[in-house]
Amino acid sequence: MNAMTTTVEVKLDLPDALATELARLGLLEPGNLQNVLREAVRSRLAERLAQARKRIDASGLAPLTMEEIQAEIEADRTARRNPKR
């Protein structure tokens, strides 16, 4: 499967020591830089999820049961199939 790609040109002003270390480790190569960026995205999303979990826990709301979740999914699907005009 070919994923669509977008070309983005990035210019960074880095301290010499950091630029040297990144180059030495190969982290400025396109494939490696993609991996670094993907990991940064995963890390940020994981942190956001952890923060959301903390807010949910602090709210004191009881978690939904699987049956309640399924009912919500089915209600949403029904609403999407029969939109109000």
| Domain segments of the chain as ranges | 21-81
**Span 55-77, average pLDDT:** 94
CA 27 to chain centre: 21
If one compares 51 and 85, the residue with the highest pLDDT of the two is 51
pLDDT reported for residue 68: 96
As a whole number, the mean pLDDT across the chain is 92
Specify whether the CB–CB gap between 61 and 53 falls below 8 A.
Answer: no
Q: For 5-34, how does the pLDDT look when each residue is reduced to its tens digit (9 = 90+)?
A: 899 898 999 999 999 999 999 999 989 999
CA distances from 71 to 2, 64, 79 (A): 36, 10, 12
CA 61 to chain centre: 25
Specify whether the CB–CB gap between 52 and 58 falls below 8 A.
Answer: no
- The dihedrals phi and psi of 21, each to the nearest 5 degrees, come to -65, -40
